[in-house]
Structure 1
Amino acid sequence: MAVDSLKSITKNNIAPVYLIHGVNAFMSKKIRDKIVDYTLNEEDKEFNLSLYDLEETSIDQVLEDAETLPFLGDKRVVVAKNAAFLTAEKSKDKVEHDLAKLQQYVEQPPSFSTLILLAPYEKLDERKKITKLLKKQAAYIEANEFGEKEMKQWIHNLLSKDGVNMDEDAETLLIQLVGLNVTLVTNEIEKMVLYVGQGGVITKEVVLKLVAKTLEQNVFTLIDAVIQRKVSIALNMYQDLLRNNEEPIKILSLLATQFRLIYHTKQLSSQGYGQQQIAQTIKVHPFRVKIALQQSRSFEEQQLKGILKDLAEADYEMKTGKMDKALILQLFLLKRAQ
């Protein structure tokens, strides 16, 4: 887990070679920066820190730099991103890479250098000899997108630095509003910590007050109002969206997307599929599936079919200009939130 890996990096255990693999760009950078900061001081970074793109630069040149003695310092750090030669994908590299040289380097790295290879991909090709070697010999760190559990751990780590607590329902609401985007969550946590102060408590009210909502998040709340049959809240929210110049057809599209997800998750759940299986089958993040499953409990399958039929008809009416677009969606909400 990337959060645990980040915590485990200390000044006394820097490895000679790192392979940071995964699509979580925020955590990859955090891990990379921590390794660099623990290896080089600010003055050394000017002369002994090198950054390369392996789509543009050969691994041979990168290794040549890593094997060069540090200048006016004890250590050198060489960072090379886009190590696509570790995947099964067709290479976009403009250069040739001598992987035999990389193998020799990994087996006998110089004591004065730290080489960091970044592989921002979903999968590596485990059949390749160099991939196997790096995963065995190097410090291998996965930086994949966070699930709900990892995100909550990350939130707790951020809060503990300032002695701030967060109510469980506030934490759940934050993830519902922002999603599992670690950059956005971090920014919102930092903002709320400043608001409540050291030793403070972040409540649900604080989240509602400070966290800005996107259109998608507002639509999610609108669906909740429909589910709970709170017609006045649903209509007020809809009017707020219109006042913010949101297009009815865009709101309709997002409603249709979420209700389709609710319908599919209910279908698969009734067939015995678990949350992870559903996520893999329909290729949607497990957290979104979790929310959709919760929402699906408020509907029978036939009700969801009816809602999807109503949404399809509303879409047709909007596109053919049969009625005012804003009124079409208002009538849908009146019908389904009653």
Structure 2
Amino acid sequence: MMKFVMFKKSLEEGVSPIYLFDGEEEYFKERGEDMLKERYLSEPSLNYTSFNGENLKGSEMISLVRGAESFPFLSEKRLVKAVDFYPTEKEYESYLKSYFENPQESTILLIMNSRAPKGKVMDLKKIKTVTHVDCSKADDETVMRWIFTQFKRAGISVDAECCERIARYCLSDMSRVAGETEKLKAYALQGGVITAQVVDDVVYRDTDYKMYELTGAIARKNYTAYLSVMNELISKGVDEMNILNGVCNYFRTLFEIVAMGRSDADTANLLGQKEYFVKKQRQQAMMMSKQRVKDCYLNVFNAINDVKNGKISQTGALLCVNAAIFFGA
């Protein structure tokens, strides 16, 4: 078994025919898959196949084996991925053992598991041809070291305190850490310096970050993602009024940006915001018409006033706002 931080270095010595990536850190698994594709696949569209492990039961596992036994086309390797794949010992003996004992040299079989298996299953980690990569959450020190390395490679100065602050604000969730680090790199640019104040201004924290996800889902018109984040916020004790205020502030800012009709720099000065944020918010506003942005803002604003005047409950107001934003009700 190896920790994910050693995976990239291990590729310098050669690739294994079968990998098992397991653990709760999705970023590590996605990054590991990208590394394999970048290094060994010349034509990913022709040499990549993905299977949902939940659909591979009994004899259906033969399709996975056939995919792995296929030869690559105009590429050094072929990559076959199986997600959440937990064969039983009987299934392994009947359908997989032959391949696992003598895997195709030109194929990389990548098994990516997240959840705990249900019932008794084959322990793939014990198979000699399987390289087990531990993708569990990294400790804080590893996360901080990763952050520091990313800034160093980008030519940006940062101290240990700022790295610790970024990790803490992101709860050491690597997907969040990676996203916020990229945002900070874009903000500072090469030769820049990351300070504690910059981290506080740029990095989203806890509820703030969830509100960012919520408004991002609105911009993408993804109602399912919006509901998921909204329900998570409510489950963590955030009341409907706070959500309404967050959505109202979001649309108010978008409306102010499009209504001013000025450059990002001028708008940032007038609103007292960073130019970087104005640019990003303008991009979101451009996904909707100016009238649509205004209508959404007034709708949320009026709903909040109705709550304050006792005309409607917070829950009712939020339901009405959701309907208006996504369905034009």
Q: Which amino acid aligns with 1:46?
A: S
Give me the TM-score of the superposition, normalised by structure 1: 0.55
Question: What is the rounded CA distance, in whole Å, between the counterparts of 1:86 and 1:196 in structure 2?
Answer: 51
Question: What is the rounded CA distance, in whole Å, between the counterparts of 1:2 and 1:158 in structure 2?
Answer: 19
> After superposition, what is the alpha-carbon deviation per residue over 1:4-56, rounded to whole angstroms, capped at 9, x for unaligned?
23431436611111111111111101001111221111xx2122111111111
Question: What is the rounded CA distance, in whole Å, between the counterparts of 2:111 and 2:195 in structure 1?
Answer: 41
1:206 is aligned to 2:218 = no
Which 4+ runs in 1 deviate beyond 6 A? 123-127, 248-251
Question: What is the rounded CA distance, in whole Å, between the counterparts of 2:195 and 2:4 in structure 1?
Answer: 24
Q: 1:153 aligned to 132, 142, 145, which one?
A: 145
Shift of residue 73 of structure 1? Answer: 4.0
Shift of residue 2 of structure 1? Answer: 4.2
Secondary structure, counterpart of 2:54 in structure 1:
coil
Shift of residue 151 of structure 1? Answer: 1.1
CA contact (8 A) 1:9 1:34 kept: no
1:190 is aligned to 2:189 = no
> After superposition, what is the alpha-carbon deviation per residue over 1:119-139, rounded to whole angstroms, capped at 9, x for unaligned?
113589999454411xx4322
Q: How does 1:250-269 map to 2 (within 5 A)?
A: none
Tell me what 2:72 maps to. 70
1:174 is aligned to 2:173 = no
Question: What is the rounded CA distance, in whole Å, between the counterparts of 1:131 and 1:3 in structure 2?
Answer: 15
Question: What is the rounded CA distance, in whole Å, between the counterparts of 1:138 and 1:62 in structure 2?
Answer: 16
Q: 1:144 to 1:86 in 2, by over 3 A?
A: farther
Tell me what 1:5 maps to. 6
> After superposition, what is the alpha-carbon deviation per residue over 1:32-91, rounded to whole angstroms, capped at 9, x for unaligned?
1111221111xx21221111111113332111111122234442211111113379xxxx
Tell me what 2:111 maps to. 117
Tell me what 1:45 maps to. 44
Question: What is the rounded CA distance, in whole Å, between the counterparts of 2:124 and 2:159 in structure 1?
Answer: 46
Question: What is the rounded CA distance, in whole Å, between the counterparts of 1:97 and 1:77 in structure 2?
Answer: 22
Shift of residue 98 of structure 1? Answer: 4.3
Q: Which amino acid aligns with 2:64?
A: V
Shift of residue 169 of structure 1? Answer: 2.0
Flag structure 2 segments of 5+ consecutive residues without an equivalent: 211-237, 244-329
Secondary structure, counterpart of 2:108 in structure 1:
strand
Question: What is the rounded CA distance, in whole Å, between the counterparts of 2:204 and 2:5 in structure 1?
Answer: 29
CA contact (8 A) 1:75 1:113 kept: yes
Question: What is the rounded CA distance, in whole Å, between the counterparts of 2:106 and 2:4 in structure 1?
Answer: 27
1:163 is aligned to 2:155 = yes
Q: 1:200 to 1:100 in 2, by over 3 A?
A: farther
Tell me what 1:83 maps to. 85
Question: What is the rounded CA distance, in whole Å, between the counterparts of 1:59 and 1:207 in structure 2?
Answer: 48
Tell me what 1:102 maps to. 96
CA contact (8 A) 2:50 2:82 kept: yes
Question: What is the rounded CA distance, in whole Å, between the counterparts of 2:161 and 2:110 in structure 1?
Answer: 39
Question: What is the rounded CA distance, in whole Å, between the counterparts of 1:9 and 1:61 in structure 2?
Answer: 29
> After superposition, what is the alpha-carbon deviation per residue over 1:126-179, rounded to whole angstroms, capped at 9, x for unaligned?
99454411xx43221010012212211221232232122322222222223221
Secondary structure, counterpart of 1:186 in structure 2:
helix
Question: What is the rounded CA distance, in whole Å, between the counterparts of 1:217 and 1:46 in structure 2?
Answer: 35
CA contact (8 A) 2:4 2:134 kept: no
Secondary structure, counterpart of 1:84 in structure 2:
coil
Question: What is the rounded CA distance, in whole Å, between the counterparts of 2:163 and 2:157 in structure 1?
Answer: 10
Q: Which amino acid aligns with 1:113?
A: T
Flag structure 1 segments of 5+ consecutive residues without an equivalent: 88-95, 219-245, 252-338
Tell me what 1:307 maps to. none
CA contact (8 A) 1:79 1:116 kept: yes
Question: What is the rounded CA distance, in whole Å, between the counterparts of 2:136 and 2:120 in structure 1?
Answer: 17
Q: Which amino acid aligns with 1:191?
A: K
Identity in percent: 21
Q: 1:107 to 1:124 in 2, by over 3 A?
A: farther
Secondary structure, counterpart of 1:47 in structure 2:
coil
User: Root-mean-square deviation (CA), in Å?
Assistant: 3.2
Give me the TM-score of the superposition, normalised by structure 2: 0.56
Secondary structure, counterpart of 2:72 in structure 1:
coil
Q: 1:68 to 1:184 in 2, by over 3 A?
A: same
